Amino acid sequence: FTCDLIRNFSIIAHIDHGKSTLADRLLELTGTIKKKEVGKNEQVLDKLKVERERGITVKAQTASMMHTFNGKPHVLNLIDTPGHVDFAWEVSRSLAACQGALLLVDASQGVQAQTISVFHIAQERGLKIIPVLNKIDLPAAQPERIAAQMQATFGTDPADIIHISAKTGKGVEDVLQAIIDRIPPPSGAPTAPLKAFLFDSLYDRYRGVISLVAVQDGILKKGDRVASCHTNKKYEVQEIGIMHPEEIPVNGLYPGQVGYIACNMKESSEAHIGDTLYRVGTAVDPMPGFKPAQAMVYAGIFPVETSDFPKLEESIKRLALTDRSVTVQRESSTALGQGNRLGFLGTLHMDVFRQRLEDEHDANIIVTAPTVPYKIVYKDKEVYVSNPTEFPDAVDAASKVKEIQEPIVKASIIVPEEYFGDMMDLCFTHRAEDLDHRYLDAGTGTSSSRIILTCTIPLSEIVTDFFDQLKSRSSGFASFDYEEAGYKASDLVKIVFLLNAKPVDALALIVHRSHEDAIGKEWVKKLVKVIPRQMFEVPIQAAVGKKIIARETLKAYRADVTAGLYGGHVERKMKVLERQKEGKARMKRMGSVNLPQEAFFEIMSSK
């Protein structure tokens, strides 16, 4: 055995530039999977239903390939990474197990926002980067122009760029050769004390937690007693193997190898991402770990039928086991009953989780409006609040609140020149500051120059409709990425909605003062549409502190269901009343107002 015969790499790219397609071609070329019939476009490494439907990779997958070069069998470990902005943390984690990365760029679209961010992550980690231009089969491909863009943006030598079509397979052999020639093999000593880097974990119903590890030094074998640098807990390795891409048990993992182990971890929190495993009885320095993923967007999830709560909570727990970046807490609301408050990396992450709950767990749920974590500064302490119900009503001496701060991000948008004005406008209406821009390239006769626009913008502004508007106002041409940029003082207020003068906790929102009127009015209009009429008139109001900022009136409705029935038909009359009573049972009494749980579903899902 020797490390020289191993290469560990990732494919990094902007969403849709063809990572999964290239991964499939590499797996086919190395005989890891059978070649698929032409026209079939199911990807092997993308496994979740939501990933197939949305065509995005959510969870990174790993596959080991065997390939013979110059008569020597090599092991190529591909660590797949997701491409969406929400999942930068997963990208960084996958790259920690690699020595090189294929930087894939669509030859018709060119460098996009995430191309730049993943390039930086790879560069910071010191990886060898192989530039690859994909989709050269497309009539709209402009490989020379995009190569020049890459040179201008990353300092790439155009001579180093490999031109391929992952779809037809053209040029993919060259990629395989470049992986061997350009990416350094991992370094590690089989005789040194065992050091294995834990970079991902899966959950299996029967075997518990399965950890994915990259062995740095030493040899990891079945039956070994290992311990975690992070928790000091000890485990016995029950099963060990490689992902091919299905699990294949092996006798041992050598330095530089990537594989899985099952070692009786019961809770997925025991598999700490970024942890170092060592052999019990030896002493090692842990490898540099990760800062844990930070939830940026929070929302309450409640069952449509309140009695479904235990089942829903169980489903949420199960799903959270497969997605370590979700945080879960109990929450209860007078309006919606028992539920959970979940923290996500971003809104796409939230949508994906919601869809998985619905698809895989058949859950019927209400998701409250997303909230970012706000920082409430008191005289003597700072408190983070991610639930509008805990947000103070005012910043004043009485509430002891000195200041409220909100998270801001540094955003970059790449867009063809003709949409630049629209993008500036979009940024301004979303409270962006420090706007700056520069040209990415000069454009050609047939296509315009691209501009990269950067700004700082409150995170709360981009968790609502920003992404949708960005896409629609740029005809889909704009790409977008952001990174955290700390906290900033801001004039934020809590809007409370009142039904018949009683506040409804689940509807509270936190907004910037400049948006309070517009949002108050919009929500009141929405509410009057979805709340069923009552026996009496109901005022629907939006309030900030004591001030009413919007109002609509829900007209009274006299539901005299028996009016049309005469004298003798007592039986029928009883039945009608019975049915009406059943209807009532499903209502929630909000103060004096009857509100079906479904109304919340409609409010939260209407845009």
Q: Which of 6, 7, 10, 17 binds ligand GTP (CB under 6 A)?
A: 17
- Copy the structure tokens of residue 295: 């939830």
Q: What is the closest distance, in whole angstroms, from the C-beta atom of residue 221 to ligand GTP in the complex?
A: 35
Query: Based on the number of CB atoms within 10 Å of its own CB, is 601 exposed (0-12), middle (13-18) or buried (19 or more)?
Result: middle
Q: Which residues are annotated as a binding site for GTP?
A: 13-20, 80-84, 134-137
Segment lying near ligand GTP (by CB under 6 A), choices 161-169, 171-179, 563-571, 591-599: 161-169
Q: Which of 10, 18, 93, 510 binds ligand GTP (CB under 6 A)?
A: 18
**In sequence order, what DSSP letters do the residues of 343-376 get, joined into one string?**
EESSHHHHHHHHHHHHHHH---EEEPPPBPPEEE
Q: Which of 167, 244, 402, 533 binds ligand GTP (CB under 6 A)?
A: 167
Q: Which of 10, 21, 94, 216 binds ligand GTP (CB under 6 A)?
A: 21
Distance (Å, rounded) from C-alpha 56 to C-alpha 540? 41
Q: Are β-strands 225-228 and 234-236 bridged in parallel, bridged antiparallel, or unpaired?
A: antiparallel
Q: Which is nearer to ligand GTP, 56 or 312 (CB)?
A: 56
Q: Which is nearer to ligand GTP, 175 or 544 (CB)?
A: 175
Residue 83 interacts with ligand GTP (CB under 6 A): yes or no: yes
Q: Which residues are annotated as a binding site?
A: 13-20, 80-84, 134-137
Classify residue 291 by its DSSP letter.
P
Query: Considering Cα of 101, then 102, then 108, then 110, what sign does the dihedral take?
Result: positive
Task: Using CB under 6 A, count the residues that bind ligand GTP.
Answer: 20
Segment lying near ligand GTP (by CB under 6 A), choices 160-168, 301-309, 355-363, 510-518: 160-168
Segment lying near ligand GTP (by CB under 6 A), choices 8-16, 271-279, 425-433, 558-566: 8-16
Distance (Å, rounded) from C-alpha 269 to C-alpha 262? 14
Q: What is the closest distance, in whole angstroms, from the C-beta atom of residue 20 to ligand GTP in the complex?
A: 3
Q: What is the closest distance, in whole angstroms, from the C-beta atom of residue 521 to ligand GTP in the complex?
A: 38
**Half-sphere exposure (Cβ direction) of 446: Cα atoms closer than 13 Å:** 6
Residue 67 interacts with ligand GTP (CB under 6 A): yes or no: no
Residue 245 interacts with ligand GTP (CB under 6 A): yes or no: no
Say whether 103 sits in a helix, a strand or coil.
strand
How crowded is residue 402: how many other Cβ atoms within 10 Å of its Cβ? 15
Contact string (CB under 6 A) for ligand GTP, positions 377-396, x = contact: --------------------
Q: Which is nearer to ligand GTP, 85 or 426 (CB)?
A: 85
Segment lying near ligand GTP (by CB under 6 A), choices 94-102, 129-137, 572-580, 581-589: 129-137
Q: Which is nearer to ligand GTP, 137 or 517 (CB)?
A: 137
Residue 349 interacts with ligand GTP (CB under 6 A): yes or no: no
Distance (Å, rounded) from C-alpha 569 to C-alpha 579? 16
Cβ 549 vs Cβ 494: under 8 Å: no
Residue 135 interacts with ligand GTP (CB under 6 A): yes or no: yes
Residue 19 interacts with ligand GTP (CB under 6 A): yes or no: yes
How crowded is residue 158: how many other Cβ atoms within 10 Å of its Cβ? 14
Distance (Å, rounded) from C-alpha 408 to C-alpha 413? 16
Residue 166 interacts with ligand GTP (CB under 6 A): yes or no: yes
Q: Which is nearer to ligand GTP, 167 or 230 (CB)?
A: 167
Query: Based on the number of CB atoms within 10 Å of its own CB, is 330 exposed (0-12), middle (13-18) or buried (19 or more)?
Result: exposed
526 forms bridges with which residues in the sheet?
A: none
Q: What share of the chain is helix, strand, coil (3-state, %, to 5)?
A: 30, 35, 35
Residue 41 interacts with ligand GTP (CB under 6 A): yes or no: yes
**Half-sphere exposure (Cβ direction) of 132: Cα atoms closer than 13 Å:** 33
Q: What is the closest distance, in whole angstroms, from the C-beta atom of residue 138 to ligand GTP in the complex?
A: 5
Residue 16 interacts with ligand GTP (CB under 6 A): yes or no: yes
- Copy the structure tokens of residue 302: 């409640």
Q: What is the closest distance, in whole angstroms, from the C-beta atom of residue 15 to ligand GTP in the complex?
A: 4
Residue 56 interacts with ligand GTP (CB under 6 A): yes or no: yes
Q: Which is nearer to ligand GTP, 83 or 343 (CB)?
A: 83
Residue 534 interacts with ligand GTP (CB under 6 A): yes or no: no
- Which residue number has the CB closest to ligand GTP? 83
Q: Which is nearer to ligand GTP, 41 or 475 (CB)?
A: 41
Q: Which of 31, 55, 193, 249 binds ligand GTP (CB under 6 A)?
A: 55
Q: What is the closest distance, in whole angstroms, from the C-beta atom of residue 146 to ligand GTP in the complex?
A: 13
Residue 479 interacts with ligand GTP (CB under 6 A): yes or no: no
Residue 62 interacts with ligand GTP (CB under 6 A): yes or no: no
Distance (Å, rounded) from C-alpha 411 to C-alpha 462? 10
Distance (Å, rounded) from C-alpha 114 to C-alpha 83? 7
Q: Where are the alpha helices (DSSP H) in 125-171?
A: 143-154
**Half-sphere exposure (Cβ direction) of 320: Cα atoms closer than 13 Å:** 17
Cβ 533 vs Cβ 555: under 8 Å: yes
Residue 57 interacts with ligand GTP (CB under 6 A): yes or no: yes
| Residues 6 or more apart in contact with residue 328 via CB below 8 angstroms | 316, 317, 320, 340, 341, 342, 343
Q: What is the closest distance, in whole angstroms, from the C-beta atom of residue 467 to ligand GTP in the complex?
A: 15
Q: Which is nearer to ligand GTP, 71 or 476 (CB)?
A: 476
Distance (Å, rounded) from C-alpha 554 to C-alpha 265? 56
Distance (Å, rounded) from C-alpha 259 to C-alpha 233? 21
Q: Which is nearer to ligand GTP, 166 or 194 (CB)?
A: 166
Q: Which of 165, 257, 474, 534 binds ligand GTP (CB under 6 A)?
A: 165
How crowded is residue 528: how many other Cβ atoms within 10 Å of its Cβ? 16
Residue ranges binding ligand GTP (CB under 6 A): 13, 15-21, 41, 55-57, 83, 134-135, 137-138, 165-167
